[in-house]
Amino acid sequence: MNDSSVAANGIGMTSQRTRDRLITRLQEQGVRNFEVLEAIRSVPRHLFVDEALAHRAYEDTALPIGHNQTISQPFIVARMTELLVEGGPLERVLEIGTGSGYQTAILARFAKEVYSLERIKALQEKARKRLRDLRIHNVILRYADGSVGLEEMAPFDGILAAAAPAEVPPELLQQLAIGGRLVIPIGEQDQKLYRITRTEEGFQREFIEHVRFVPFRSGLR
Ligand code: SAH
């Protein structure tokens, strides 16, 4: 999309220049993976928030999406995607917390199939429409509590949690393939992002950085 077609849509602030500025910022913050940066550049984040917030979509910040939830900050989406992608090829990926569907759309570019679980029906329905409008077809959305993962589709090469539980749900570890990676924020006040890789011998846990996510909750809404 060029600047004039964007202006024709009445949302000039979503222009290529605004997006390029975001990419520069992500690079300055240490995102190195070229394909991840390209994915962030080309997925239209302004379509994943309400129109009233579209002008802020290319700021590097989380934004409200209703129901006390947020669309994740672009930096964290880029970082988590990079952490999953670095570890090897991704055939089947599980995401917990579809939310707006933005991270899902990014993951869809790197995996053959993305299963994404969401416990708030209204958010899931909006996400489904957006992904359909963008013709992203390798994504399967499920209205489900992600605390127990998705046993029937396991094992996964990658699992990404977009909400923070107090402890790692053991089911998610069990649903990783050998070599598979779980990227997950853990904790309540003081949250830490981890990448946990399943090896032949067990699990290898790497601390990545301090983060701030919405809480992981059980049950459906
Ligand atoms: N990546 C999403 C983040 C949304 S916020 C985005 O960028 O839009 C996290 C989401 O996780 C919320 O929509 C919340 O409802 C969902 N969530 C929290 N706990 C969950 C659980 N146990 N199972 C499924 N979804 C959950």
Q: Do residues 75 and 82 lie in contact, with contact meaning Cβ atoms separated by under 8 Å?
A: no
pLDDT one digit per residue (tens) for the chain, 221 residues: 444 444 445 455 567 889 999 999 999 999 999 999 999 999 999 999 999 999 999 999 999 999 999 999 999 999 999 999 998 999 999 999 999 999 999 999 999 999 999 999 999 999 999 999 999 999 999 999 999 999 999 999 999 999 999 999 999 999 999 999 999 999 999 999 999 999 999 999 999 999 999 999 999 99
Distance separating alpha carbons of residues 147 and 216, to the nearest angstrom:
8
Domain at 150, CATH number? 3.40.50.150
- How many CB atoms sit inside 10 A of residue 170's CB? 10
| Packing angle, helices 16-28 and 34-42, rounded to 10 | 150
- Whether 189 is covered by a domain: the verdict is yes
Calculate the CA 216 to chain-centre distance: 14
Using DSSP's 3-state secondary structure scheme, residue 191 falls into: strand
- Whether 90 is covered by a domain: the verdict is yes
- Whether 11 is covered by a domain: the verdict is no
Distance separating alpha carbons of residues 58 and 18, to the nearest angstrom:
6
- Whether 146 is covered by a domain: the verdict is yes
Q: H/E element holding 75?
A: helix 74-86
Domain count, the chain: 1
- Whether 6 is covered by a domain: the verdict is no
Q: What's the CA-to-centroid distance between 117 and ligand 1, angstroms? A: 8
Tell me which residues have their CB closer than 6 angstroms to ligand 1. 65, 69-72, 96-97, 99-100, 102-103, 117-120, 123, 145-147, 162-163, 214, 216-218
Identify which of 120, 139, 167, 175 to mutate to test ligand 1's pocket (most ligand atoms within 8 A of the CB): 120
- Whether 151 is covered by a domain: the verdict is yes
Q: Residue 72 CA: which ligand 1 atom is closest? A: 7
- Whether 37 is covered by a domain: the verdict is no
Residue 108's domain spans which residues?
Answer: 61-211
Q: Indicate the pairing of strand 176-186 with strand 191-198.
A: antiparallel
The tokens for 161 are: 């949690």
- Whether 86 is covered by a domain: the verdict is yes
Q: Do residues 46 and 126 lie in contact, with contact meaning Cβ atoms separated by under 8 Å?
A: no
Q: Residue 100 CA: which ligand 1 atom is closest? A: 8
Q: Which residues belong to the active site?
A: 72
The tokens for 51 are: 């129109």
Distance separating alpha carbons of residues 104 and 7, to the nearest angstrom:
27
